[in-house]
Amino acid sequence: MNEIFDPMSKQQIQLFNYFQATLTQDARYDRLRGTPRDPKKVAQQLANYRVNVGNEIYVIETDKTKHGGKLRAHQQVEKRERLSRRKRWETQDEDEIYSSKQLDRDIVNPDQIRTIIQTFRDKLPEIFPGRAEIPKTLIFAKTDSHADDIIQTVREEFGESNEFCKKLTYKVEEDAKSILAQFRNDYNPRIAVTVDMVATGTDVKPLECLLFMRDVKSRNYFEQMKGRGTRTLDYDDLKKVTPSATTAKTHYVIVDAIGVTKSLKTASQPLITKPSVPLKDLAMGVMMGARDEDTVSSLAGRLARLNKLLDEKDQARIKEKAGGVELKEIVGNLLSAIDPDKVETKARGIETVPEGEEPSDETRQKAREELVGDAASVFNGELINLIDGIRRDKEQTIDHDNLDSVIRAEWEGDSEENAKELAKDFQEYLQSNRDEIEALTIFYRQPARRSELTYSMIREVFDRLKSDKPKLAPLRVWQAYALLDEYKGNQPISELTALIALIRRACGLDEVVSPYSETVRKNFQSWIMAHHSGGGDKFDEEQMNWLRMIRDHIISSFHMDRDDLEMSPFDAKGGMGRMHQLFGEQMDEVINDLNEVLAA
């Protein structure tokens, strides 16, 4: 089994995925290697083998998220019931300081939620440069009530309809599985908000962003939540739901708005095997299809412990929602479903094996899944809601007076070092291919031929780069150089114009990164001024309009040919014939001059 963590064959990868799907994380590493593996190292290995994609972390830190707030005596505060969300106002009796941990549980500060969502919205062009739509984003909320507050704020701040952002929890009017299918396969919803339903065991391959607005103390559970973003997806499939995507899914981004990537995580322990995973999360996981032994045994143990605390009234309420099944019977059915003897008996009923031989592992797994499925059939949204509601207080306090503010919103880690590493990788790729790709040969070996560069040449560089090094997407590399060069100006108009500007920067033609359009416009202005400074004829206004059209064509297509004069926008102005009337025998000379000067 140690071979799984060494250079992996296709069969070994499939074997690892099997264990990943059926065992909890710590148990998986223990059984495969004898000692736990660092989840970060395993994730990196999987990314290297292109089984999964890696992640980057973007931090949004606000004052109220970090420090909490204070309710002052005699101010008017709003009270809201957790389940019904009915509201009333009352006067605060005394000063009350609340911590960040109380936010969205005992205290709700709407401005704290709004500040995070506004910052996320405003920073999206930096996090996902070049995207025309919001990437598929999953927001993790603390509670169902918190999820409702987030959804309302998202819809308001993005100015979008209900289809844009939906809730994926047990308490939804639409069928949860239907919403999940829409999130996975359709353009909308772009954003889904969940407490637990998509935390484990559910693949949403187009997912590119995880926004954490809740903390997680379990290391295993956090790794499983991050796993929602790790799935690979090729370019064609990603483009079906995110049309402005220009490459396959190369990575996903964790937007940490709560400090989840910094908080102390603890490993899960055996039977109750997941003490730090909320009871509701376990029940939702089993209801939605989790069949592993750790989850089922943890759920059974937690329900058994809860059963001892309930009075007759609560027992009766649970029995009613469970279709007449008592809680202790539910516990017994769950434990029986993972009992080795029961699983053995069930497996022998599925697969006929000779006397003295054992059923196969696949048959045992199928038997356990069927037994757990039968035991889990009792769970429904109302039952889980009731069980969870019994253990909660009935009211939250809404803090309208303490406005939140952003402390920082930036990439996690040393941004400058990350940018240097990305720029270095880009430069090394160009240099290693300068003798194989014609456009790079021109830039590095034959700079006098820059006027011969064409759209197809630059496109060849882009296509090769996308195929060989998808993480070196031009707009990502542009962000790196912009940081290093302290560039604060306009963004490139396209990935191809970004690429040619980056090539110029990497090969030393430009000292600092600058959009190709600005370079061309600056060179054009210098050329016009030089022409008009002499004693010869000056360009009239119609000639200038044609020269500007040629300039703009070179910005987008990198080169101008005579044949281009019969294409838009030149054809609408009379095409080659009209330009010849305006410039006479100098027409070809003007085109050649502009090709040479503007590419300088």
Distances (CA, A) of 294 to 23, 269, 291, 319, 350: 8, 9, 9, 25, 23
Residue type, 55: N
Q: Is residue 93 part of a domain?
A: no
Helix (H, G, I), strand (E, B) or coil at 227: helix
Residues paired with 411 in a beta bridge: 58
Residues 391 and 420 in one domain: no
Residues 375 and 427 in one domain: no
Residues 488 and 528 in one domain: yes
Residues 354 and 291 in one domain: yes
Q: Is residue 380 part of a domain?
A: yes
Q: Angle 105-109-113 (CA atoms, 0-180°, nearest 5)?
A: 95
Reduce the secondary structure of 101-135 to three states and give it as a string.
HHECCCEECHHHHHHHHHHHHHHHHHHCCCCCCCC
Spatial distance between the Cα atoms of 429 and 424, rounded to a whole number of angstroms: 9
pLDDT score for 467: 82
Residues 364 and 487 in one domain: no
Helix (H, G, I), strand (E, B) or coil at 80: strand
Residues 466 and 567 in one domain: yes
Spatial distance between the Cα atoms of 53 and 76, rounded to a whole number of angstroms: 49
pLDDT score for 198: 60
Spatial distance between the Cα atoms of 177 and 384, rounded to a whole number of angstroms: 17
Of 26, 19, 23, nearest to 276 by C-alpha is: 26
Question: Taking a C-beta distance cutoff of 8 angstroms, is the pair 505, 516 a contact?
Answer: no
Q: Is residue 171 part of a domain?
A: no
Q: Is residue 34 part of a domain?
A: yes
* Domain assignment of residue 4, given as a range: 1-51
pLDDT score for 544: 92
Number of domains in the chain: 3
Residues 353 and 428 in one domain: no
Question: Taking a C-beta distance cutoff of 8 angstroms, is the pair 107, 393 a contact?
Answer: no
Residues 471 and 594 in one domain: yes
pLDDT score for 202: 67
DSSP string, 473-510: -HHHHHHHHHHHTT--SPPPSSHHHHHHHHHHHHTTSS
Give the count of beta carbons closer than 10 Å to the beta carbon of residue 76. Answer: 10
Residues 327 and 433 in one domain: no
Question: Taking a C-beta distance cutoff of 8 angstroms, is the pair 439, 460 a contact?
Answer: yes
Last residue of a domain, one of 361, 396, 431: 396
Determine the distance from the C-alpha atom of residue 13 to the mean position of all C-alpha atoms in its chain, rounded to a whole number: 24
Q: Is residue 362 part of a domain?
A: yes
Tokens 């929890």 sit on residue: 169
Residues 342 and 391 in one domain: yes
Last residue of a domain, one of 369, 396, 423: 396
**Residue 251 φ/ψ, nearest 5 degrees:** -165, 170
Residues 437 and 482 in one domain: yes
Residues 357 and 498 in one domain: no
Q: Is residue 255 part of a domain?
A: no
Spatial distance between the Cα atoms of 268 and 260, rounded to a whole number of angstroms: 17
Q: Is residue 192 part of a domain?
A: no
Label residue 79 exposed, middle or buried (CB < 10 Å: 0-12, 13-18, 19+). Answer: middle
User: What is the residue-level pLDDT of the chain in tens, covering all 600 positions?
Assistant: 333 333 344 444 444 444 444 443 444 333 333 334 445 444 544 443 345 777 888 999 999 888 888 888 888 888 877 667 788 888 888 888 888 878 877 788 889 999 999 999 999 998 998 899 999 999 999 888 889 999 999 999 999 999 999 998 766 567 777 888 899 899 999 999 988 766 555 678 899 999 999 887 767 778 888 888 888 888 889 999 999 988 888 788 999 998 888 875 544 444 455 666 777 888 888 888 888 888 888 888 888 877 777 788 888 988 998 999 998 899 889 988 888 778 888 888 887 776 657 788 888 889 889 999 999 899 998 898 888 877 564 456 677 777 888 887 776 666 788 888 899 999 999 999 989 999 899 888 888 888 888 889 999 999 888 888 888 889 889 988 988 888 888 888 888 889 999 998 998 888 888 888 888 889 899 888 888 887 778 889 999 999 999 999 988 888 888 888 888 888 888 999 999 999 999 899 999 989 888 877
* Torsion, CA 138, CA 140, CA 143, CA 146, rounded to 10: -70
Q: Is residue 256 part of a domain?
A: no
